[in-house]
Amino acid sequence: MSLAGGSGWTVLDYCFTTGDVRIYWAGNHTQSLAFGAPLLVLDMYEHAYAIDYGAAAAQYVDAFFANVQWEQVARRYERARKAAQALKG
């Protein structure tokens, strides 16, 4: 919700270099953080919610989180964590 009406992607990722889980925003389709594996991505471009929610982006975000399959996010986290360990050798 901190985009305050702005568009972009909100990304939860696993950082391979530090082992941290990070949240960041990408303002277009070409931005990303290096050395990270996306765990959960929220599309905040208007095309994602305008037809169903109009200007009520908060309702869209609430519906998104109500439907997240957290088991899948946990599997992505474990896969990224194992990949990071393999990279360290």
DSSP string, 42-53: EE-SHHHHHHHH
On the CB side of 29, CA atoms within 13 Å amount to 1
d(CA 46, CA 50): 5
Q: What's the pTM?
A: 0.86
Percent of the chain at pLDDT above 90?
Answer: 65
Residue 12 pairs with which residues in a beta bridge?
23, 40
Choose among 59, 76, 86: nearest CA to 14: 76
Ranges of each domain in the chain? 9-83
Domain covering 9-83 assigned CATH 3.40.1190.20 in the classification? no
pLDDT digits (tens, 9 = 90+) for 14-43: 999 999 999 988 887 777 778 899 999 999
Sign of CA pseudo-dihedral 18, 21, 22, 28: positive
